[in-house]
Structure 1
Amino acid sequence: MAKNKTLIVIAGPTAIGKTALGITLAQHFSTEIISADSRQFFKEMSIGTAKPHIDELAAARHHFIDSHSINTFFSTGDFEKQALEVLEEIFSKHDLAIMVGGSGLYLDAVTKGLDELPDTDMQIRSQLNALFETEGLEPIKAQLAAADPEYYAKVDQANTQRLIRGLEFFLSTGKKVSSFLTNSKKQRPFDTIKIGLNMERPLLYQRINHRVDLMLQEGLLDEVKSLQPHKDLNALKTVGYAELFDYLDGNITYDTAVEKIKQNTRRFAKRQLTWFRRDEQIHWFSPDQTDDVINFLENSINRVS
């Protein structure tokens, strides 16, 4: 792959307008889009993951939308490998590719690479998932904090899967995940330009609340009902689904579930921004600065090519 190939990354919190900008850029630069959203991979989850609509998918070719089933284990490492293969295919036809997503770890996996971790014991994962179901997250947090305080201090405290993964790794190997996290960046055969989208917090929260209302109007509750038999899968332990499962199980009222979805989505957006702000390579714009983004990219691509 020639070195003058460029990957344009569009990052930012949920509901900020990444999909619309990605499509505009893909059309402007005549290229294709890789979705780096850790939930839009799953074909059974559509409304609650805010997937691009049919007309948006028709406007530009997308990869990793509806690409996997919730019944398939699809790790960040799997995404890294498969996304690099798709990028090679895109770069065989185009000089530019677009990657859009709010999942910082997935974006980093492609642009920086992941550390190689030894395999873990699936039986231990099942036991920890069962512990989470019966006793919640606190005993897992306590064990992880004692076993690997370095990893515990870094990990997103609200990310159930990452907490379980850290403890699972220690119990399987006797070693700390933190001892494998070198943070060494892998060399990639393409240049990367990162665009971040942000806006005033009250406006973002307004957009999030409005999007949740739209999802419910579009039939989110029916989608969640159809997935009830699979609610124990990791893919479904996520905002928008977990709260409505709680409602369907009779644990909370419908109105409480809706308010919790909005609240948890706002918290998720805040964590996303915290993650992305650590990346000094991101150039920040507001969602209404499309022309500025295009001008910036054209100038940047000319400089790196």
Structure 2
Amino acid sequence: MTGQSSVRRGGAFLVVLALLAVAVTLVAGCTAGTENGTPTQGDGVSGTLSVTGSTTVLPIAQLAAEAFMAENSGADIQVSGGGSSVGVQAVGEGTAGIGMASRDLKDAEKEKYPDLVKHTVAIDGIAVIVNPQNTVERLTVEQIRGIYNGTYTNWNQVGGSDQQIVVVGRDSASGTREYFQESVMQGEDFVGTQLEKNSNGAVAQTIAQTPGAVGYVGLGYLDDTVKGLSVDVNGNAVAPTIETVKAGTYPISREVFMFTKGEATGLAKAYIDFILSPDGQAIVEEEGFVRVD
């Protein structure tokens, strides 16, 4: 009997070991994190990621972070603005995992941070905006340039009422300002009386509160508190919309980016992959940008 009991105890012990092995395997399969920087199927991604830079890209980054964290409870993605130059410097110096920019890298930045990798996340139009009380509906690119270089100082010079033009733009950290100066101003200096704001939101708010003001913002910042002017292209008024940017008929548009130091890995890769997925690109479109998928 003793021998039979020992056999039974040994057999039971082996069964317990087998069950434990199965349980460990199941738990590992359910809780594995990432493999070579890419989330494994059905797994959550964990860790902390800092994303900073362009206020143009900011709405995409924030909403995408919220949606991503809702699906990955172990992930903590912290998003902040500051401007494209801030984003490039932060990711280049390693103080942020992702730097947002509404312009490409400057030559000096490419030299200083040669290992930055660019990820195009959307296409954005830049809308020239005025107060809703303004009677002007459209301007040529040449007239917009004339307003911003100081040639025109009164709205009656470009088809509007007798009212002083209050020029509002972005500060030197802004990628939108960089693009606007290259594309619209053709490298010319801005008028010295220009009011410089540190975000798209601040520009829009100033325009909404100032009847004679003019500014420029990303399409995602258009709402009923401001009026987006059409751009006169060879006699045709082209409104700043997703459709016209997508069709290539709206003349003031560009790609917007997220930069990583080296190829994206881990949480940064998973987050960018989400933005480029159909769900992420739906957020891009909802925020007034043109999708790139």
TM-score by length of 1: 0.29
TM-score by length of 2: 0.30
In terms of fraction of residues, the more helix-rich structure is 1
